[in-house]
Amino acid sequence: MVSRARLFPVVMVMLALMLVSCSSSAGAATVVRYERDWPDNYHEELTITDDGHVTMKHGDVLERLTLTAAQVQQIRDALAAGVPAGDQGDSLVRTVVLANGTSLSPVKPVAGSSVELLELLMTTHSLNGAPVPGASALPAHALGSPHVPGSSTAP
């Protein structure tokens, strides 16, 4: 029979290993959060984490996607190049919250910018015209869809 004195260190090591494995997968760091606030108080939010997980909230609708490492890097590179400022008079208020907690608002989806990439991902569930795997049907907001860069729809 194994004594408790000999069994105790084994149990402690097993518990420590379980704690380490749980805490190491606890959560990935946020790369960026992108928000859209409509004039009628409808709120949309997109969050990208460094492991590629994307969570989108369109009002009460929750969607999840997964980006590749290359797509996450594309977003990081675009953010490093800068975030174009919007106009205080914009009816649709767009906000970018960076990984360090810096909040930039209003921002504008200028062609080729980080805001354009985030806007496309939230609106079309694609980057550079390529759909992100796992994307669900697009939710529609009652005021109409926002301006999608490259389209003929006005903001």
Q: In whole angstroms, give the CA distance from residue 74 to residue 63.
A: 21
Rounded average pLDDT over 29-54? 96
For the cut 70, the answer to whether the pLDDT of residue 148 exceeds it is: no
DSSP for residue 51: T
Cα(11)–Cα(25) distance, rounded to whole angstroms? 22
- Within 10 angstroms of residue 62's Cβ, the number of other Cβ atoms is 11
Query: What pLDDT score was predicted for residue 77?
Result: 97
pLDDT value of position 111:
93
Judge whether 107 and 86 are in contact, CB under 8 Å: yes
